[in-house]
Amino acid sequence: MPTYGTTPNLGLTEVGLTQNNKVTTLDTMAEGFDEAIAGTYSQNVTAGGTFTLASLTDSNGQPAWMNVRQKLTGSPGAGINLVVPLSNPRFYIVDNQCGQNVTIKGTTGTTVVLATGNVQIVYCDGTNVVAVTAPTTGASAPPVPIDIPFSIKGKPAASDYINYAFAHAITFPANFASANNAASAVGGMGALPTTGSWVITINKIPVSGGVLGSATAIGTITVTSGGSITYATTGGTAQTVPAGSICQASYPLSQDATAADPSFTLGGTR
């Protein structure tokens, strides 16, 4: 009888002829291969101390160590440790943007110390962590542009809204302008408001235990009866919606007599 096991390095379940859930297994395997080749796991290390990749999970539900690129952000008070699993030999691209040195190590064996602001390829051979390339200053991979479109057909009802659940942290540039690979915000209306200004509020909403928390405004889109459109972020600064949170476009508390068919896209990066 044919049998199946796991792949030798990533530990992904292989598909066997007698397996019941082949589609699920193939989907998980494809995600694992994608992350091993091109995935990024971004970890805020402000808390300091030791971060063990085998104990962390990315936004796709995969172990953090499967991602080839490990990006470290935040502002810890001292150097930190990044522990990679010795049981899964592989290469890592470590991008240290946390303001402190990072020691890349296994539970035993040699280590690599990476200074802040540097990117380096390292290899875990199952016993040691060794440097493959020299550290490169300022070579952090560019942010990936993400477009967030939202629109409603007809007149939005009073207090109507659209929610988007973000699997990755998304950062919007100051005043939703073009910056850091993000495109400028664009959009328009099928019909303009009758008088004055019509304001769409952009909120971020945390999710805990499957329940949405309180909304925090991160920006606005203001449309006037004359057709002027103004995009603004709170405080005129860049705004980030964390992974696992909701980005919400919230329409005015009262319905305008004519404002209809709003269609806008906000450009962000992850």
- Provide the domain limits for residue 51: 22-137
The HSE-up count of residue 133 (CA atoms within 13 Å, CB side) is 13
* 228 and 158 in a common domain: yes
> Residue 53's pLDDT is what?
94
> Residue 124's pLDDT is what?
94
* 263 and 166 in a common domain: yes
Domain ends where: 137, 161, 187?
137
What mean pLDDT is predicted for residues 14-32?
58
* 255 and 151 in a common domain: yes
For the chain, how many structural domains are there in total? 2
Quickly state the pLDDT bin for 30 (edges 50, 70, 90).
low
Q: Assign residue 151 the CATH number of its domain.
A: 2.60.120
> Residue 259's pLDDT is what?
95
Q: Kindly state the helix (H) or strand (E) to which residue 29 belongs, with its residue range.
A: helix 22-38
Q: Is the per-residue pLDDT at 13 higher than 90? A: no
Domain ends where: 93, 109, 137?
137
What mean pLDDT is predicted for residues 170-182?
84
Q: Is the per-residue pLDDT at 19 higher than 70? A: no
Domain ends where: 117, 137, 157?
137
Residue 45 domain flag: yes
Backbone angles phi, psi at 167, to 5 degrees: -80, -25
| Separation between Cα atoms, residue 185 and residue 149, nearest integer Å | 10
Q: What is the pLDDT of residues 177-214, one digit of tens each?
A: 987 667 789 999 999 999 789 999 999 999 999 999 99
Q: What is the pLDDT of residues 133-146, one digit of tens each?
A: 989 875 555 678 88
Question: Lowest-pLDDT range, 25-39, 90-104, 228-242?
Answer: 25-39
> Residue 156's pLDDT is what?
93
Q: Is the per-residue pLDDT at 15 higher than 60? A: no
Task: Report the DSSP pairing between strands 216-224 and 197-205.
Answer: antiparallel
Q: Is the per-residue pLDDT at 152 higher than 70? A: yes
181: left (phi over 0), alpha (psi -120 to 50) or beta: left
Q: Does the model's pTM come out above 0.75?
A: no
Q: What is the pLDDT of residues 52-106, one digit of tens each?
A: 999 998 887 888 988 899 999 999 999 999 999 998 888 999 999 999 999 999 9
* 177 and 67 in a common domain: no
Residue 149 domain flag: yes
Residue 2 domain flag: no
Tokens representing residue 27 in the block = 């989907």
Quickly state the pLDDT bin for 4 (edges 50, 70, 90).
low
> Residue 2's pLDDT is what?
43
Residue 246 to residues 162, 169, 171, 214, 243: CA-CA distances in angstroms? 10, 10, 13, 10, 9
- Percent of the chain residues past pLDDT 70, beyond the cut: 83
* 171 and 119 in a common domain: no
